[in-house]
């Protein structure tokens, strides 16, 4: 359902924009699943005791999302994907706790249906957009991206979604819009981590408008061929592969267009450690650890050799021009 605040609506589609039947059928199955409120898993399954083990398991009960392989330059890496069990059991999602295993333990409480994203600020088409509307905007692509965490670990994830620019173009930002702010869900009844004062809730992130419009910036609804798991940001999240992972907001409920740089959650909590841009730069160490190398999740044995961290997480050819002339040690 799409609830608009004014008379503007999406344009009538051209023939080339009509979703292929197989994609539409796949989305219909997904919406039916999301409508059950627990992404196709019964409440009894979630609460029967072995919650962590179930969350780590491949959710084969979920309908596969129909998608096509992305042809976007830089959207596919030849590196081996991280195992599903590793990618879904070692996460940062502070709304469910600060330990890496907390999201897999506790995110089953997250209610993903109904879900809507509020569009606000300097844009011609503000309003409340249901998850159904977002799913219909563009063809679902699979993009295998490297993902880098500031603590020195990395993953390779096959995400499902489409470029955030597909949504932004339809919303028609005003000429004065320079930044995009993302606000995530903050529900004390379903998110036990909100009792912590480590973050001034809700969690807020932001991008420059040109960063948000870059083709690599992704609005994701799934991973590994299926809908997003709750600990990974269901039902919709951001994926910005050349930045540290905390820039990729999970469980988004608000997108706001503004003419001022947003004060993000980590800038507010620890400004001496986290800047606005948060681009992967191995030449700038975190105050408490080096960023020059990384360890791939699933390959973290005691004697496993670390990998050299790549500038912009290996996406320099695609995104380097966004920061031409900037001091990347100052704007970290």
Domains and CATH numbers, the chain: 2-273 (3.90.420.10)
Angle at 279 between CA 176 and CA 159, to 5 degrees: 90
Burial class, 311, CB count within 10 angstroms (exposed 0-12 / middle 13-18 / buried 19+): middle
β-bridge partners, 226: 223
- DSSP letters spanning 88-144: TTS---GGG-SSTTHHHHHGGG---SS-EEEEEESBSS-EEEEHHHHHHSS--EEEE
**How high is the pLDDT of residue 28?**
55
CA distances from 311 to 45, 203, 241, 315 (A): 43, 26, 12, 7
β-bridge partners, 156: 146
**How high is the pLDDT of residue 57?**
47
**How high is the pLDDT of residue 29?**
55
β-bridge partners, 252: 184
Q: What is the pLDDT along the chain (332 residues), one digit of tens a residue?
A: 444 444 333 333 333 333 444 444 555 555 555 544 333 332 223 233 334 444 444 444 457 888 998 999 899 888 999 999 999 999 999 999 999 999 999 999 999 999 999 999 999 999 999 999 999 999 999 999 999 999 899 999 999 999 999 999 999 999 999 999 999 999 999 999 999 999 999 999 999 999 999 999 999 999 999 999 999 999 999 999 999 999 999 999 999 999 999 999 999 999 989 999 999 999 999 889 899 999 999 886 667 788 999 999 999 999 999 999 999 888 87
């Amino acid at each position: 359902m799409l609830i608009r605040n004014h008379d503007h609506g999406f344009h009538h589609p051209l023939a080339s924009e009509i979703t292929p039947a197989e994609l539409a059928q796949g989305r219909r199955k997904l919406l039916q699943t999301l409508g059950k409120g627990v992404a196709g898993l019964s409440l009894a399954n979630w609460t029967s005791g072995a919650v962590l083990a179930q969350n780590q398991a491949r959710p084969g009960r979920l309908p596969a999302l129909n998608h096509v392989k992305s042809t976007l330059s830089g959207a596919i890496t030849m590196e081996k994907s991280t195992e599903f069990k590793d990618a879904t059991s070692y996460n940062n999602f502070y709304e469910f706790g600060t330990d890496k295993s907390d999201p897999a333990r506790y995110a089953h409480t997250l209610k993903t249906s109904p879900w809507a994203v509020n569009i606000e600020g300097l844009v011609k088409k503000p309003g409340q957009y249901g998850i159904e509307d977002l799913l219909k905007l563009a063809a679902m692509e699979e993009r295998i991206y490297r993902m880098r965490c500031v603590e020195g670990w990395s993953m390779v994830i096959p995400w499902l979604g489409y470029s955030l620019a597909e949504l932004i173009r339809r919303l028609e930002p005003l000429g004065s819009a320079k930044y995009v702010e993302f606000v995530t869900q903050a529900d004390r009844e379903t998110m036990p981590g909100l009792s912590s004062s480590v973050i001034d809730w809700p969690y807020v992130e932001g991008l420059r408008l040109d960063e948000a419009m870059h083709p690599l910036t992704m609005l994701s609804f799934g991973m590994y061929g299926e809908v997003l798991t709750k600990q990974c940001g269901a039902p919709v999240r951001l994926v910005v592969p050349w930045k540290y992972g905390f820039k990729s907001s999970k469980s988004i409920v608000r997108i706001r267009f503004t003419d001022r740089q947003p004060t993000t959650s980590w800038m507010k909590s620890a400004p001496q450690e986290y800047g606005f841009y948060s681009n992967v730069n191995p030449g700038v160490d975190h105050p408490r650890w080096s960023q020059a190398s990384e360890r791939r999740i699933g390959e973290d044995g005691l004697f496993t050799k670390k990998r050299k961290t790549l500038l912009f997480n290996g996406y320099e050819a695609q995104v380097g021009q966004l920061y031409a002339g900037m001091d990347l040690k100052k704007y970290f």
